[in-house]
Each structure stands twice: as structure tokens, then as C-alpha cells.
Homo-oligomer: A and B are copies of this chain.
Amino acid sequence: MKRLSLIDTCFLKMESPDTPMHVGALLTFRLPPKIGRQYLSQLVARLRSYPVSRSPFNHVLAQGPLAAIAPYWETDQHVDLDYHLRHSALPKPGGQRELGVLISRLHSHPLDLSRPPWECHIIEGLEHNRFAIYLKGHHAAVDGLGGLKLIKSWLSEKPDALNQPPPWAMPLPTSVRPPAPGPFAAAQQRLTGLRAQLRAVPEVYRSLVRARLEYPNGSLPALLKAPSSLLNGRIGGQRRFATQALKLSRLKRIAEQTHTTTNDVLLAVCGGALRRYLSELDALPRSSLVSLVPIALRPRRNQVGGNSLCGLLTDLETQIADPVERLHAINVSTQAGKRHIQQLSPTALAQYSLLLMAPLTLAKVSGLSGSLPPLFNVLISNVPAARNKLYFDGAELEGIFPLSVLFRGQALNITALGYAESFTLSFTACRDALPRVQKLAIYAGEALDELERALGIADIETAERRVVSINDAPRVRERLANPTDGA
């Protein structure tokens, strides 16, 4: 029995047909040289031969009234691996378009919560001697970083490492754990914890208001001023997915030359892409779009150990046309945001993150639902995956593309991921709310080109672009023709 944390409980409660709460990862591999035609079917057969012996892969949600108050995981001794491990194929020509369509479709299906909530798809038929793996897990069971850690533990830095066990069969490091509380005690602890969280709500709001007053011109930290936009309309359950691969060295060079950070450059690239995308739809808000950027914080003096993960609200400065000027303005905004967060107490910090990450659920709990404007327009994460090339069963990992959850009122999520020399942007979007998401991916690449041109960086390397192109939906066109109906 393993109790869910408060935030994991939130992810569970937020599950709905319009907002399925699973995260995913698409991994593309080059087939090893000199292999037989049976490589993939043998791989699937080998993976199928392992027992599902490791958490969270053998964890299933407990049923019953106590589980409804304080949900917990039970160990499923009879996991139906044939259900979770799936062999799929792309139609010809097996390009990025076909891959994008399949992944969008797979990511749109909700997980079966009566089973351990994960799926692993081995996908054949990818052109240029490649194959893909799509992994999917419920956000209540695995967060983005935890999922990445799991994936990395499955892969190897050695090209010749063969027959690695799948993540669901790998031995767990032995650790001494305190005994889990009984269900009654767990429910009581949950309520106590929730009360403490709620007591911190006023502090967070006081802090937000104080910060707002400190910067009365409204141009500094992006607090309580996210504009309405197409990105925050009602969302449905179907997803679109697009990707863009850039070179990390290009972002680093710009950051050095402008005395900003790689993350600032990422935000400038996203801001530039969103500005152009929304302008073309005649839907660019006058004031800056606001992004929520999860960041790791150094502990404060009176705080015990470890870093905290926290959500940083920052302007994307989409009202600024000049790319370099936009980058500098973003840098001012992120610096101010970080200072603001450092002032919060640890409890308020946790509450602040929860409030930002899970706006609707906690707004409901705290009775503030409906009276708040959108706190942010788009969530942009930046995750370093690995510096060295990774391999799986002799196959080189070419790229990792994370697929995120969308919250109610959040039609777009951007995740940037650094792996070896590449830097990949993954766009997870609502199929109905946002048209032609692949354009956003293209524009992100072009926003980087534009920054380099403006900075006079001569030898612009040709961007390695892999854009998933998916056709447009008629109901999106309709919505754009009648903007009052949309966001």
C-alpha cells in the first residue's frame, strides 16, 4: 500500500474526458547495423517475457470509500502485460507526419484506471531504418522528471549493451522504508495536510498582490495579469503533437552574447513563435502572454536540505516585435520572478506551486473558482535529459519528445528537452482549440534563426528540423471565423 501525495491526488481528481491526466514520452531510435528482419518482433517477444515486478508498473489504484478520501496504490500481482505492452506500426511512408498522427491519437486515449495506468508501444515502420517507443503513464503515478529518470535507467551509454530488462522488471534499489500508515490514519493525515495547505493560500495571494504593487507599471513580473487568449479557451479530450529539434549550442551562444540564460533564450524562441502564430490568426493579445516555467530553487537559509521545484510566472513579452529587445525584457521578467519566489515561506512555496500547477482543483478547494483570471497562458518546461548519447539494445536513441497533460483552460504545453547535442521542443495541444500546431513548431525554428540574424551571428548552422505536420480541423477553422465562440 502506497499513499498518493496531495499533488498526485490532484492529478487523479482532475482526470476527465476533456483532460486525461497522463504524460508520455516518444523515443525514436536508429535500428542497430547488421540486424535481422525479426529484430523488432524479437524485441517485443523478449520484453513480453519479463514479469511486471516493479513499482509503479505493478501499482493499481485501490477501490473503496477510504481510497476515495485518501487514494492509495495497491500491488497488482497479476498484471496483464499483453495489455500494457503493444506492438504497433506506421502506415507508409512512415515519416514524421505518420508518426505524429499516431502519437497524437495514442496520447488522446485515456488510460484504463482499473489497471496499472501505463502503456508501452513499440512502433515499427518508421522511415530511414528507425523505430519508436511511446511510453505513457498517469501523472498521479509518475511526474515528468520521475518518468525521465525511469527511461534513463532503462537506457545505457554503452552502444553494445544488449538484453537490458524493461523498466517494469528492473530490480529496485533496496531501501528501508517507514511502515505505511493504515487507511484511517492516512485519511486523517491527508485532511491535516490539506488544512495546512489551505492556510497558506492567503499568504500566496498577499505575496502576489504585494509583488504587483512593487511593480506598478505592470511590465515586470507577470503576476495576475495573463491576458485572455486562444490558449485558454475550453479544451476537449483530443490532442495534437508537434516537435522541433534545435542545436543546444545555438541557444548557448545567444545566451552568452546577450548575458542572459539558455532558458531565457528558450522563452524568447517560444514567445517569438507564439507572437507570429497568434498574429496570423488575428488573435495576439495586446499585453504580453504569461508563461509558467517550473524551475529548481536553491534552499533558503532556514529550510532543510534539497532543492524545491517551483513554478515561475514570467512574461513572454509577445507585445515586443524586436527579437533581441524581447529577449532582454524576458530576462528582466525572469530575474524579478525568481526574487519574488525567494520571499515565500516553504509551505507557501509548495502551495504556490500547487496553485499554479493545478489551478482548477485548488481554486475549487479554496472557494476562489471563477473569481480569478487565468494565472498564466502557457506552461513551458525545460528539462535536461542526458549529455551523452544513450542506447537501447544496441539501438541509438535519436531523440526524446515529452508529451504533457493539458489542464482545463490550458490548450498548449511546451516542453524543451536537452539530450546530447540536441535541444527538442515538444508541443502538446488541444486538437479543437488550436489550429495547425505544426506551424508553432516551424515558427520556433525560425524565431531562433531570426534572433541569430539580429545578433549578427554569422555562421548560422542549418537547423535540424523535424516538424510533425497534421492537417487542420474544420471546427477549429469555424471557431476562428467566429472568435467570440472560441477563447
Is there contact, CB below 8 Å, between A89 and B89? yes
What per-residue 1/0 map shows which CB atoms of A462-487 lie under 8 Å from chain B?
00000000111111111000000000
Q: Does A278 contact B (CB under 8 A)?
A: no
Q: Does A350 contact B (CB under 8 A)?
A: no
For A364, what are the chain B residues with a Cβ–Cβ distance below 8 Å? Answer: none
Q: Which of B76, B81, B109, B431 contacts A109 (CB 8 A)?
A: B109
Smallest CB gap from A236: residue in B: B114
Q: Does A80 contact B (CB under 8 A)?
A: yes
For A474, what are the chain B residues with a Cβ–Cβ distance below 8 Å? Answer: 78-81
Smallest CB gap from A98: residue in B: B87
Is there contact, CB below 8 Å, between B477 and A78? yes
Q: Does A88 contact B (CB under 8 A)?
A: yes
In the complex the two chains form, what is the Cα distance from A477 to B37 in whole Å?
Answer: 33
In the complex the two chains form, what is the Cα distance from A91 to B238 in whole Å?
Answer: 25
Is there contact, CB below 8 Å, between A83 and B41? no
Interface size class of A (residues with CB under 8 A): 35 or more
Is there contact, CB below 8 Å, between B125 and A82? no
For A112, what are the chain B residues with a Cβ–Cβ distance below 8 Å? Answer: 17, 236-238
Q: Which of B41, B77, B83, B87 contacts A473 (CB 8 A)?
A: B83
A103 to chain B, nearest CB (A): 13
What per-residue 1/0 map shows which CB atoms of A81-125 lie under 8 Å from chain B?
111001111111000001001100100010010100000000011
Is there contact, CB below 8 Å, between B478 and A78? yes
Total copies of the chain: 2
In the complex the two chains form, what is the Cα distance from A102 to B106 in whole Å?
Answer: 13
Q: Does A40 contact B (CB under 8 A)?
A: yes
For A236, what are the chain B residues with a Cβ–Cβ distance below 8 Å? Answer: 112, 114
Question: Which residues from 8 to 30 on chain A have a C-beta closer than 8 Å to any C-beta of chain B?
Answer: 17
For A105, what are the chain B residues with a Cβ–Cβ distance below 8 Å? Answer: 86
A109 to chain B, nearest CB (A): 6
What per-residue 1/0 map shows which CB atoms of A33-55 lie under 8 Å from chain B?
00001001100000000000000
A161 to chain B, nearest CB (A): 25
Smallest CB gap from A478: residue in B: B78
Smallest CB gap from A80: residue in B: B473
For A92, what are the chain B residues with a Cβ–Cβ distance below 8 Å? Answer: 37, 40-41, 89, 124
For A473, what are the chain B residues with a Cβ–Cβ distance below 8 Å? Answer: 80, 82-83
In the complex the two chains form, what is the Cα distance from A80 to B479 in whole Å?
Answer: 12
User: Would you mind naming 19 contact pairs between A and B with Cβ atoms under 8 Å apart?
Assistant: A37-B92, A40-B92, A41-B92, A77-B478, A78-B478, A82-B472, A83-B238, A83-B431, A83-B473, A87-B91, A88-B91, A88-B102, A89-B89, A89-B90, A92-B124, A109-B109, A112-B236, A112-B237, A114-B237
Give 4 nearest A-B pairs by CB, closest first.
A78-B474, A80-B473, A89-B89, A89-B91
Instruction: A87-B101, A89-B92 given; name 4 further pairs at CB < 8 Å.
Output: A78-B474, A78-B478, A83-B431, A89-B125
